Amino acid sequence: MSEAKRLIFLGAPGAGKGTYAGPLSRQWEIPTISTGDLLRANVKQGSNLGKEAKGYMDSGALVPDELVTKMVAERFSEKDAAQGFILDGYPRTIAQAEALDGILAGKNTPLTGVFNIEVPREVIIKRLTGRRVCPQCKVNYNVNTNMKPKQEGICDSCGAALIQRSDDNEKTISNRLQVYEEQTAPLADFYRRAGLLRTITAVGEIEDIVNMIRSAAEWNN
């Protein structure tokens, strides 16, 4: 069995964190832990944390750091995370990063690497404005990349009409990137000082970028 990998993927919205995490999770047999997925799962399950989070979400407020951190800590205790994990979307702030350090120190399971996935701003905007989603089977397409559907506007899998998410417009995307720069980008310096940061320029073929991340993560181990 390979050594445990406890990794964080940093990067702006649209940088491709989930795209690259997927094949690596399968190869290493570790979960990708996304805070968005965690929140939705807890709300759907009606857990105590989910009920608390739903109150904030229904009112349009941000879910507090402490609550998100509790969900992440609980997720670490599940069996599939015993040999590691890839965190996508957490931490988002220095406060969350410090809380994460405390959780992992308590388990004597430190992070093994942090990957800062960098993509030019114009590429991110093109990716996100081109994104289309199937409302039935949830498959993602992109009209600005090689992930176009075979028939324009129609899902290859089920034939449903594709939709564009309401927040996938240039103005909203620019605002999201601004928030990222202000709140989350400082994490790169935080982890650089800790000696954990590796920067990956994610321009090119998906397979090549996945291989770069894999090589760097296995070299660190």
Q: Which residues are catalytic?
A: 17, 92, 131, 165, 176
Do residues 42 and 56 touch, judged by C-beta distance below 8 A? no
As a whole number of angstroms, the distance between CA 82 and CA 107 comes to 11
Do residues 143 and 128 touch, judged by C-beta distance below 8 A? no
What is the phi/psi pair of residue 195, to 5°?
Answer: 75, 20
As a whole number of angstroms, the distance between CA 143 and CA 4 comes to 38
Longest dimension (CA), the chain: 52
Residue labelled with tokens 């995307």: 173
